[in-house]
Structure formats: structure tokens, C-alpha cells
Amino acid sequence: MAVIPQPDSSARISDPATVPGAVPQAAQGARPAPRLLRKVLSLADFEAHARRRLPRPIFGYVSGAVEDHLSARDNREAFDAYGFKPRVLTGAVARDQSVTLFGKRYSSPFGLAPMGLSALTAYRGDIVLAEAAQRAGIPAIMSGSSLIRLEEVMERAPGTWFQAYLPGDPAQIDALIDRVARAGVQTLVITVDTPVSANRENNVRAGFSTPLRPSLRLAWDGLSHPRWLVGTFLRTLVRHGMPHFENNYATRGAPILSSKVLRDLSERAYLNWEHIAKIRRRWDGPMIIKGILDARDAAIARRHGMDGIIVSNHGGRQLDGAASPVHVLPEIAEAARGMTVMMDSGVRRGTHVAKALALGAQCVFIGRPFNYAAAVAGPAGVDHAISLLRQEIDRDMGMLGLSSLQQLDASYLVPVRPLPGRMPAAPAAGD
């Protein structure tokens, strides 16, 4: 009987150079990775380190969710409603986890979600995140509520996507979109799940506000976290001046620390699809709506010429009780008919990525863990986070018997907990 030589899969996994699209060691820079990263074995492990590193109000802002944290909990638990049905003996030795989005090939099916104020948690945070994504060949979305000028980030990491919060006034919208185009952005994301500001009691309790208000308590929070104070905040002040919101408008916004200035958070509830239609006429590149949870809105987005949508409940930070994207992905994927469907909120594991893809997503985005990774270890931290997830996906593909992600569909899943079913039809009038 012929003996088929088997590759040593444990060796493949432990050697990042053999994981498809892995970050080459040389690309990680000459500095050795901080020792604490040796203890970070999964994306969730970053949180405890970030809690120690960051002042309480700032950690509270990143980690927190809204009101009773119902959506945040659902985001964690929704993936558990599905079990896998792996296929065996498929000979999946070469596993390709690349995906193509809007005509571009990315080396893994996940990217970095937009997060405001990233330069407050990590020194030059937006640049750290965007450059790490570029090194790894995965998408990163820069937030409009960021503290570094968009133009600077685009110069350092030209493929970065930009997420806009639309300002209140049509002329300001046009000016912002024109500025984004001039900066060289190709892929525009518009977040639409913030019609009014969220009830973040968590921020109030943690002492967080934008701008931050100088107080004895804030000073103590900073002084008791000297590595953040010196390595992130003072270093930023000395080298770049007081950070301001740079990209909510075509012009500069409020500073991050002020006793008096009020941030101009214009009312967004009046925004409607006509604003989107107008931007569509102005924007040539791929255009994506972030924050969709209803198949009807996905269909409207498609009719308005959107290239993609991100199914998201904003990491449980907007409407508490908004469903986890996992529950609504299948019906949204069906309504999308050709539009690229992406999702975020609660993705922490390679198995989560596999489940999201099996349910109809083409790519997922991840927020908090990358923010923590940048906060605790800068570029090396984000490289490590990307590499961990990439290795999990490779291992999961091996376990599922997949050589390519295109093979993954709902037939690989089985509900192992009761799934939220369809709502009963509304009674007919007169019933």
C-alpha cells in the first residue's frame, strides 16, 4: 500500500511564514516584540493588558457599550448558536484564506473596523492601525472621528478606507466628501446607525467625555497610568500639539481636552437616502453603508448603487437590544443580491469568522481587540493580533476540510441552540 506523505500541520501553523499571507518577520520592523505579547494567545487576551495600561475613562470609552449591554452580550453569544459540520479527508493541505473585495485581493477575510480617538489610546493610533493592515494586506477603515489628519494617514497607508459621519449641512457634506477624494481615498464607508447620540451611561460613570474636561480626577487617572501618560499623551502633545477632531468635517474640529469647547455633534436624525443618492453621484469609487441590520435597508442600499454594506450593531454601542448581525446575516445576504456583504460586532475568533462567512458575509471587521493591541504594544501588538487571527483561520480551514473560503456555505453549520425565528405576521386589520 502506498504511503502518502503527510505534511506536519503543527509545524506549518507555528511558523508564520508558512501561513498564507502571514506577516513576514522582516516587515515587523527591527524592534523585538514586547514580552507581554508572549502571554497574548488570543484576541480576547489583549483586553486585560489594555485595562492596566489605559486610564479608566479611556479604557471605559473603548470597552464600553450602551445602557444594559444587551447587544454587546448578544454579540458574544450569537456565534455559539451554530455548530460546525466539518468535512473530512478532503486533502486540504494548501489553504488559501484570501478574499477579493471591490476588485482588490486581500490576504485574509478580516479587517480593522473604524474606531474614533484611536490616537488617544495608542501613540499615532490611526497610523499604527492603518500601516499594520497595509503590511498584512488586509483592509483597515479609518474613523471620521479621528485625531490625525486623514491626509497624513493616506500618505502612510494609501489603501486605507475612510469612514465618514455625515455632517448636518449639505454644503458641509459636499466639502467633506471632496476632501476625502482629494486625500486619495478610494473606498468610502458611511456609518448610518448614529441618528442620535447613544446613551453611554458607561462613559459618564467612567468620567469620559469629548472633549475630556480637565479635573483633578482626570489628572489622577493620567498620573496613575504613567506609561500611557508619557508614552502616548505627553509624547503626542510634545511632538504634534494638542489633538483635535480632524476629520468629522472638511475643516478642523474641537480639541480633545478643553474645559469650555463644546464638540459640534450635529443632529443626524434628518439624514435620509437622498443624501446617500447625492453622495453616490459625487463619489466614483466603492461606496459602503455601515450599520445595516434589516434586509429591507440592504435592498434599498442596493437600489441606491451601493457597492457594499457592513452589517453591524456598532459593537453594541448604539441601540441597546439591536440584534447581533449573526442573527440577520442570512436574510440580508439574500437581499444583497450582488452587493458585497461584510459584518462586524463581536468577532474574536477564527471560528467566528468562519461562521460569519458561512452565513453569507464576504469579510468581517473587528474593533476593540485591535485598539487594545495598539495601546499595549503599538505596531508589534497589531501585527501580533492580525497574525493570531490569521493562524486561527488557517487552522479552522484545515479542521473544516477547506482549501478555499469560497467553499464555505451554510451547509457547514447546524443550529445547536434555538435560533431567533421569524416574527409572527402582524394580524390583518379587523382581526
Provide φ and ψ at 104, rounded to 5°: -115, 140
Stretch that binds ligand FNR, among 46-54, 95-103, 198-206, 344-352 (CB under 6 A): 344-352
Smallest distance from ligand FNR to CB 416, Å: 22
Binding mask 392-421 for ligand FNR (x = CB under 6 A): ------------------------------
Query: Residue 239: enclosing H or E segment and its boundaries?
Result: helix 235-240
The one among 115, 119, 183, 298 contacting ligand FNR by CB under 6 A: 115
Buried b (16+ CB within 10 A) or exposed e, 62-79: bbbbbbebbbbebbbebb
The interface with ligand FNR within residues 181-220 (CB under 6 A) comprises 191
The one among 346, 360, 378, 379 contacting ligand FNR by CB under 6 A: 346
DSSP 202-215: HHHHHT--SSBPP-
> Are residues 309 and 290 in contact, defined by beta-carbon separation less than 8 angstroms?
yes
> In angstroms, rounded to a whole number, what is the distance separating the alpha carbons of residues 111 and 247?
21
> In angstroms, rounded to a whole number, what is the distance separating the alpha carbons of residues 145 and 245?
6
| Residue in the structure block whose three cell numbers are 483635535 | 244
Smallest distance from ligand FNR to CB 335, Å: 20
- Omega within 30 of 0 (cis) for the link into 330: no
Query: Is the CB of 21 or the CB of 315 nearer to ligand FNR?
Result: 315
Helix extents (H) in 93-229: 118-121, 125-136, 150-156, 170-182, 201-206, 216-223, 226-228
Stretch that binds ligand FNR, among 174-182, 221-229, 340-348, 350-358 (CB under 6 A): 340-348
Query: Is the CB of 347 or the CB of 388 nearer to ligand FNR?
Result: 347
The one among 23, 37, 113, 130 contacting ligand FNR by CB under 6 A: 113
Binding mask 127-146 for ligand FNR (x = CB under 6 A): ----------------x-x-
Catalytic residue among 49, 225, 244, 314: 314
Stretch that binds ligand FNR, among 107-115, 200-208, 330-338, 416-424 (CB under 6 A): 107-115
Binding mask 276-315 for ligand FNR (x = CB under 6 A): --------------x---------------------x-xx
Smallest distance from ligand FNR to CB 367, Å: 2
Look at residues 36, 144, 74, 7 and name the one whose alpha carbon lies nearest to residue 373: 36
Query: Is the CB of 120 or the CB of 335 nearer to ligand FNR?
Result: 120
Instruction: Identify the sign of the CA torsion 270, 288, 46, 350.
Output: positive
Look at residues 53, 60, 65 and name the one whose alpha carbon lies nearest to residue 207: 60
Query: Is the CB of 211 or the CB of 367 nearer to ligand FNR?
Result: 367
Query: Amino acid identity, residue 379?
Result: P
Binding mask 354-373 for ligand FNR (x = CB under 6 A): ------------xxx--x--
CA angle 291, 349, 86 (to 5 degrees): 110
Query: Is the CB of 54 or the CB of 402 nearer to ligand FNR?
Result: 54
List the beta bridge partners of residue 190. 164, 289
Provide φ and ψ at 50, rounded to 5°: -70, -35
163 lies in the binding site for ligand FNR (CB under 6 A): yes
Smallest distance from ligand FNR to CB 23, Å: 20
Task: Based on the residue annotation, tell me whether 275 is a catalytic residue of this protein.
Answer: no
Q: What is the CA radius of gyration of the chain?
A: 22
The one among 28, 71, 75, 107 contacting ligand FNR by CB under 6 A: 75
> In angstroms, rounded to a whole number, what is the distance separating the alpha carbons of residues 316 and 346?
9
97 lies in the binding site for ligand FNR (CB under 6 A): no
> In angstroms, rounded to a whole number, what is the distance separating the alpha carbons of residues 156 and 188?
18
Residue number of the CB closest to ligand FNR reads 367
The catalytic site residues sit at 314
Binding interface with ligand FNR (CB under 6 A): 61-62, 75, 113-116, 143, 145, 163, 191, 290, 312, 314-315, 317, 344-347, 366-368, 371
